Chain A
Amino acid sequence: MTGTATPTYIGSRVARKEDPRLITGEGTFTDDVMLQGMAYLTLVRSPHAHARIRRIDTAAAKKEPGVVAVLTGKDLEVTGMLPVFITVPSMNGSKHMPIATDKARYAGDAVAAVVADTRDAAKRAADLIAVDYEPLPVVVDASKALEAGAPILHEELGSNLVFTYPVKGGDIDKAFKDAEIKINQRIVNQRLIPNAMEPRAVTAKFEAGELTLWTTTQIPHFVQLIVALNLGLGQNKVRVIAPEVGGGFGSKLQVYAEELLVGHLAKTLGRPVKWTEERREGYLATIHGRDHVSDVELAAKRDGTILGLRVRTVANVGAYLQAFAPGIPTILHVFIVPGPYRIPAFDYEMRGAYTNTTPVDAYRGAGRPEAALLIERIMDRLADEIGMDPAEVRRKNFIPSDAFPFNTISGITYDSGDYAPALDRALAMADYKGFEKRRAEAKTRGNYRGIGISSYVEICGLAPSKANAALGVGWGGYESARIRVHATGAVQVFTGTSPHGQGHETSWAQIAADALGVSPNDIEVRHGDTFESPGMGVGTFGSRSLAVGGIAVHKAAEKVREKVVQIGAHLLEASPADIVVEGGKVFVKGVPDKAKNFGDISMAAYLANNLPDGMEPGLEATVYYDPPNFTFPFGTHIAEVEVDGETGAVQIVKYSACDDCGRQINPMIVEGQLHGGITQGIGQALYEGAVYDNDGQLLSGSMMEYHVPSAEDVPAFDLDSTVTLTNTNPLGVKGIGEAGTIGSTPAAVNAVIDALSPLGIKHIDMPLTSEKIWRAIRAAGEGRR
Chain B
Amino acid sequence: MITHPFTYQAPSTIDEAVQQLDRSDEGKVIAGGHSLLPLMKLGLAQPEALIDLRRIASLREIRSEADGTIAIGALATHRDITHDQTVRAKLVALAEAAGAVGDLQVRARGTIGGSLAHADPAADEPAPALAYDAIIRAVGPKGRRDIKATEYFKGVFETALAANEIIAEIRFPAPDGRTGGAYAKFAHPASGFAITGVAAVITIKADGTVERAAIGVTGAAAAAYRATAAEKALAGTNGDAKAIAAAAAKAADGITALSDLAASSDYRKHLVTVYAKRAIERAISRAKA
Please report A residues at the B interface, Cβ cutoff 8 Å.
Answer: 119-120, 123-124, 127, 278, 646-647, 649, 687, 691, 699-700, 703-708, 713, 769-771, 774-775
A699 touches B261 (CB 8 A): yes
Count of A-B residue pairs with CB < 8 Å: 43
Closest to B2 in A: A120
Residues in B neighbouring A705, C-beta threshold 8 A = 190-191, 260-262
Contact of B3 (CB < 8 Å), options: A120, A646, A649: A120
| Contact stretch, chosen from B20-28, B160-168, B201-209, B263-271 | B263-271
Asked, given contacts A699-B261, A769-B262, whether A706 binds B190 with beta carbons under 8 Å apart, the answer is: yes
A704 touches B191 (CB 8 A): yes
Residues in A neighbouring B177, C-beta threshold 8 A = none
Closest to A119 in B: B1
Closest to B186 in A: A647
Q: How far is the CA of A707 from the CA of B270 in the complex (A)?
A: 22
B189 touches A771 (CB 8 A): no
Tell me, rounded to whole Å, the shortest Cβ–Cβ distance linking A61 to chain B: 13
Closest to A687 in B: B189
A647 touches B271 (CB 8 A): yes
A703 touches B190 (CB 8 A): yes
Q: How far is the CA of A758 from the CA of B136 in the complex (A)?
A: 51
A700 touches B191 (CB 8 A): no
Q: How far is the CA of A699 from the CA of B261 in the complex (A)?
A: 8
Tell me, rounded to whole Å, the shortest Cβ–Cβ distance linking B280 to chain A: 14
B191 touches A771 (CB 8 A): no
Contact residues on B (Cβ < 8 Å of other chain), bracket: 10 to 19
Residues in B neighbouring A120, C-beta threshold 8 A = 1, 3
Q: How far is the CA of A274 from the CA of B162 in the complex (A)?
A: 44
Tell me, rounded to whole Å, the shortest Cβ–Cβ distance linking B212 to chain A: 26
Tell me, rounded to whole Å, the shortest Cβ–Cβ distance linking A651 to chain B: 12
Residues in B neighbouring A704, C-beta threshold 8 A = 190-191
What are 5 of the A-B contact pairs (CB < 8 Å)? A120-B1, A647-B274, A706-B190, A707-B190, A774-B270
Q: How far is the CA of A713 from the CA of B189 in the complex (A)?
A: 9
Residues in B neighbouring A687, C-beta threshold 8 A = 189-190
Closest to B42 in A: A280
B190 touches A691 (CB 8 A): no
Q: How far is the CA of A476 from the CA of B280 in the complex (A)?
A: 65
B189 touches A123 (CB 8 A): no
Tell me, rounded to whole Å, the shortest Cβ–Cβ distance linking B106 to chain A: 13
Tell me, rounded to whole Å, the shortest Cβ–Cβ distance linking B28 to chain A: 20
Residues in A neighbouring B271, C-beta threshold 8 A = 647
A707 touches B189 (CB 8 A): yes
Residues in B neighbouring A706, C-beta threshold 8 A = 190
A771 touches B262 (CB 8 A): yes
Please report B residues at the A interface, Cβ cutoff 8 Å.
Answer: 1, 3, 186, 189-191, 260-264, 267, 270-271, 274
| 8 A-B pairs with the lowest CB-CB distances in the bound complex, closest first | A707-B190, A707-B189, A704-B191, A771-B267, A646-B274, A123-B3, A120-B3, A124-B3
A700 touches B3 (CB 8 A): no
Tell me, rounded to whole Å, the shortest Cβ–Cβ distance linking A714 to chain B: 13
Residues in B neighbouring A703, C-beta threshold 8 A = 190-191
Residues in A neighbouring B186, C-beta threshold 8 A = 647, 649
Closest to B189 in A: A707
Residues in B neighbouring A769, C-beta threshold 8 A = 189, 262
Tell me, rounded to whole Å, the shortest Cβ–Cβ distance linking B150 to chain A: 28
Residues in B neighbouring A127, C-beta threshold 8 A = 3
Q: Which interface residue of B186, B189, B267, B271 has the most chain A CB atoms within 10 A? A: B189
Residues in B neighbouring A647, C-beta threshold 8 A = 186, 270-271, 274
Closest to B196 in A: A647
13 additional A-B residue pairs with CB within 8 Å, beyond A691-B261, A705-B190, A771-B264:
A123-B1, A124-B3, A127-B3, A278-B1, A647-B271, A687-B189, A699-B261, A700-B261, A703-B190, A704-B190, A705-B260, A705-B262, A774-B267
Residues in B neighbouring A713, C-beta threshold 8 A = 189
Q: How far is the CA of A705 from the CA of B260 in the complex (A)?
A: 9
Q: How far is the CA of A700 from the CA of B1 in the complex (A)?
A: 20
Q: How far is the CA of A708 from the CA of B189 in the complex (A)?
A: 9
Tell me, rounded to whole Å, the shortest Cβ–Cβ distance linking B110 to chain A: 15
Tell me, rounded to whole Å, the shortest Cβ–Cβ distance linking B98 to chain A: 19
Q: How far is the CA of A705 from the CA of B263 in the complex (A)?
A: 11
Contact of B263 (CB < 8 Å), options: A123, A691, A699, A771: A771
Closest to A710 in B: B103
Residues in A neighbouring B1, C-beta threshold 8 A = 119-120, 123, 278
Q: How far is the CA of A770 from the CA of B271 in the complex (A)?
A: 11
Tell me, rounded to whole Å, the shortest Cβ–Cβ distance linking B83 to chain A: 21
Q: How far is the CA of A705 from the CA of B190 in the complex (A)?
A: 6
Residues in B neighbouring A278, C-beta threshold 8 A = 1
Tell me, rounded to whole Å, the shortest Cβ–Cβ distance linking A558 to chain B: 49
Q: How far is the CA of A91 from the CA of B1 in the complex (A)?
A: 41
Tell me, rounded to whole Å, the shortest Cβ–Cβ distance linking A487 to chain B: 50
Tell me, rounded to whole Å, the shortest Cβ–Cβ distance linking B146 to chain A: 34
Residues in A neighbouring B264, C-beta threshold 8 A = 771
Residues in A neighbouring B260, C-beta threshold 8 A = 705
Residues in B neighbouring A770, C-beta threshold 8 A = 267
Tell me, rounded to whole Å, the shortest Cβ–Cβ distance linking B105 to chain A: 13
Q: How far is the CA of A123 from the CA of B267 in the complex (A)?
A: 40
Residues in A neighbouring B191, C-beta threshold 8 A = 703-705
Residues in A neighbouring B262, C-beta threshold 8 A = 705, 769, 771
Residues in B neighbouring A691, C-beta threshold 8 A = 261
Residues in B neighbouring A708, C-beta threshold 8 A = 190
Q: How far is the CA of A316 from the CA of B8 in the complex (A)?
A: 48
Residues in B neighbouring A646, C-beta threshold 8 A = 274
Residues in B neighbouring A123, C-beta threshold 8 A = 1, 3
Tell me, rounded to whole Å, the shortest Cβ–Cβ distance linking B175 to chain A: 28
Tell me, rounded to whole Å, the shortest Cβ–Cβ distance linking A737 to chain B: 26
Residues in A neighbouring B261, C-beta threshold 8 A = 691, 699-700, 705
Closest to A645 in B: B274
Tell me, rounded to whole Å, the shortest Cβ–Cβ distance linking A657 to chain B: 23
Q: How far is the CA of A50 from the CA of B182 in the complex (A)?
A: 50
Q: How far is the CA of A124 from the CA of B2 in the complex (A)?
A: 10
Q: How far is the CA of A775 from the CA of B267 in the complex (A)?
A: 8
Tell me, rounded to whole Å, the shortest Cβ–Cβ distance linking A272 to chain B: 20
Residues in A neighbouring B267, C-beta threshold 8 A = 770-771, 774-775
Residues in B neighbouring A649, C-beta threshold 8 A = 186
Residues in B neighbouring A707, C-beta threshold 8 A = 189-190
Q: How far is the CA of A691 from the CA of B260 in the complex (A)?
A: 12
Q: How far is the CA of A704 from the CA of B262 in the complex (A)?
A: 10
Tell me, rounded to whole Å, the shortest Cβ–Cβ distance linking A523 to chain B: 39
Q: How far is the CA of A119 from the CA of B2 in the complex (A)?
A: 10
Tell me, rounded to whole Å, the shortest Cβ–Cβ distance linking B4 to chain A: 9
Q: How far is the CA of A704 from the CA of B189 in the complex (A)?
A: 9
Q: How far is the CA of A301 from the CA of B117 in the complex (A)?
A: 66
Tell me, rounded to whole Å, the shortest Cβ–Cβ distance linking A705 to chain B: 6
Q: How far is the CA of A705 from the CA of B261 in the complex (A)?
A: 7
Residues in A neighbouring B190, C-beta threshold 8 A = 687, 703-708
Q: Which interface residue of B190, B264, B270, B271 has the most chain A CB atoms within 10 A? A: B190
Q: How far is the CA of A643 from the CA of B110 in the complex (A)?
A: 33
Q: How far is the CA of A119 from the CA of B41 in the complex (A)?
A: 13
Tell me, rounded to whole Å, the shortest Cβ–Cβ distance linking A277 to chain B: 12
Closest to A118 in B: B3
Closest to A648 in B: B267
Tell me, rounded to whole Å, the shortest Cβ–Cβ distance linking B76 to chain A: 25
Tell me, rounded to whole Å, the shortest Cβ–Cβ distance linking B180 to chain A: 22
Residues in A neighbouring B263, C-beta threshold 8 A = 771
Q: How far is the CA of A435 from the CA of B10 in the complex (A)?
A: 61
Residues in B neighbouring A774, C-beta threshold 8 A = 267, 270
Q: How far is the CA of A124 from the CA of B263 in the complex (A)?
A: 36
Q: Which interface residue of A127, A706, A769, A771 has the most chain B CB atoms within 10 A? A: A771
Q: How far is the CA of A706 from the CA of B189 in the complex (A)?
A: 8
Closest to A689 in B: B261
Tell me, rounded to whole Å, the shortest Cβ–Cβ distance linking A55 to chain B: 25
Tell me, rounded to whole Å, the shortest Cβ–Cβ distance linking B160 to chain A: 27
Q: How far is the CA of A728 from the CA of B270 in the complex (A)?
A: 57
Q: How far is the CA of A707 from the CA of B271 in the complex (A)?
A: 20
Closest to B264 in A: A771
Q: How far is the CA of A326 from the CA of B264 in the complex (A)?
A: 37
